[in-house]
Chains A and B, each alone.
Chain A
Amino acid sequence: MAVDARDSVTKQRMVRVWAQAIFSPFQSVTSKATGAGAGFINRIVNFSSTADENERLQLRVAELDLELKHAREAKAENERLHGILGLKEKTGYEVVPARVIARDSTVWFNTITVDRGSSVGIKLNMPVVTGGGIVGRVISLSPWTAQVMLLTDEKAAAGAVVGQLGESGALGSIRGNGEGGLVEMKYVSGLQEVEVGDYVMTTGQDGIYPPGLNVGEVVQVKHGTATQPHQILIRPGAQLDQLQEVAVLLYEPPQRPAPNQTLPNVEKEKK
């Protein structure tokens, strides 16, 4: 009868209710302890697989790092190439993109070799540029390669103006001085206003570079006088020590009329 006694409300057997009430705390504790123990054992069992997973994830992180690096390089290259291709619209001349494949084989001179040559229409003395500014000119050619003398070479020169062509009178000639990757601007009248930070453009008077191309930025000025020209140092806009891609402008300067070589006296006699 006692075993069969039931709760008056829920009609459950009282034995069951009491038994559940008494054993449930023990069950709870045991369950927690077992759970923790099982978890601990599981961790020990899974330790080797965790180590494997860790290794795998580390490899994946390294792979992703590499991919990120490649993506950044590709982005930078893309920007450079975009700049080079934009030169065609900017300058209005045909452009041949080229990759730098070698620097000078001796350490004494500033030349580079690019992977495009006369087979794509490149000729001697054609200007080489990047999106940042002028790089130099072609000094020797093969059908597939061209050697370029950089602007920093002592033999390199270009006509240039500080400021905008047509607005500024600070005309001069730039030459490489072979020191610290800077170029020197000569013959700028001491009466012209030149300040550090001014930009320098080509004038097109040298018969090599078309007018209006960026040369670089003035980094040092030793002011001249009415009789002494300024001494100006310019940092080239094209990063000449990190060149990877360049563009050769298929620019041929306008032909100048041949100088009159007849002697005035001879002319007189003829008359």
Chain B
Amino acid sequence: MPQLKIALVLGLAILLQLSLLSLPGIWTPVSYIDLPLIVVVYIALQREAWQALLVGTIAGISIDATSGGLLGAGGFSKTLTAYVIYYAATRVNLENALLRIPVLAAATALDSAIYVFWHRSLGYAPQVPFVQTTSYRLIATTVVGTVAFYLLDSYLTQQGSQRRQFATRRRVARRATGSLRRR
């Protein structure tokens, strides 16, 4: 997967998170989506350790820099989440599209837990109820992330482009066999 594409996708996710999803009048459920986390989990699932850690750190610190929370807490939580997902992906096959849904949900919960834990440990409790906010984040991020994973699959990975090529070939082959049968 070319690094430039990853950087572009990550930059776009951060930009959208900081502009569109932080708009003052935006529909509240939308603000619970964590786009950078979706990218972090996706990269971690590709089993590239350094890439995952770097993406996690950059995504987290970028968001921390513009938030009212502690600088570095988000960076730490996303880096650790990326590592945990990477570790799991190297031991269990998480290539299945259905399996990625619970992985994304777990990653969101883990990221929230670490983020809030750091703030609480340093005497800076977040302003919203933990369980409620984590649940909303989990739902919003998992729903959007599931769709985003398909898009990222299509445009980022070679597997995706290979799959598309094979799908076309299969379709052509099926048509050919169908026409033979009819004859």
Q: Is A109 an interface residue (CB 8 A)?
A: yes
Interface residues on B, range: 20 to 34
Docked-complex contact A147 and B127, CB < 8 angstroms: no
- Interface pair B126/A109, CB less than 8 Å apart: yes
Complex alpha-carbon distance, A252 and B89, angstroms: 55
Contact check, A178 vs B24: say whether CB atoms are below 8 A apart.
Answer: no
In whole angstroms, what is the CA distance A210 to B126 when docked? 28
Interface residues of B in 51-102 (CB under 8 A from A): 63, 66-69, 74
Q: Give residues of chain B (1-60) contacting chain A, Cβ–Cβ below 8 Å.
A: 17-19, 21-25, 31-32
* CB nearest to B23 among chain A residues: A102
Q: Are B67 and A105 in contact (CB under 8 A)?
A: yes
Closest to A177 in B: B127
SS class of chain A's interface: helix, strand, loop or mixed? loop
The listed residue (A100, A154, A244) touching B127 by CB distance below 8 A is A154
CA of A50 to CA of B33 in the docked complex: distance in angstroms? 49
- Are A109 and B22 neighbours in the complex by a CB distance under 8 Å? no
Is residue B124 contacting chain A, with contact meaning CB distance below 8 A? yes
Contact string, A134-174, partner B, CB cutoff 8 A, digits 1/0? 00000100000001010011110000000000000000000
Q: B90-146: which have CB < 8 Å to A?
A: 115-116, 119, 124-128, 133, 136-137
Given known contacts A153-B127, A154-B125, A178-B125, A139 and B31 CB-to-CB distance under 8 angstroms: no
Bound form: Cα–Cα A155–B22 in Å: 21
Give bound CA distance, A101 to B23, whole Å.
Answer: 6
Chain A 70-105 interface 0/1 with B at a Cβ cutoff of 8 Å (1 = within):
000000000000000000000000000000111111
For B25, the closest partner residue in chain A by CB is A244
Closest to B70 in A: A109
Query: A107 CA to B35 CA in the complex, in Å?
Result: 13
Q: Which residues of A are found within 8 Å of B115, using beta-carbon distances?
A: 106, 108
- Tell me which of B66, B68, B133 has the highest count of chain A C-beta atoms within 10 A of its own C-beta: B68
Bound state CA distance, A178 and B66, in angstroms? 20
Instruction: List the 4 shortest-distance A-B pairs measured between CB atoms, nearest first.
Output: A111-B68, A109-B68, A178-B127, A108-B126
Interface residues of B (CB under 8 A from A): 17-19, 21-25, 31-32, 63, 66-69, 74, 115-116, 119, 124-128, 133, 136-137
17 sampled A-B residue pairs with Cβ under 8 A:
A102-B22, A102-B23, A102-B66, A103-B24, A104-B22, A105-B22, A105-B63, A106-B63, A106-B74, A107-B136, A108-B69, A108-B133, A109-B126, A112-B24, A113-B66, A154-B125, A244-B24
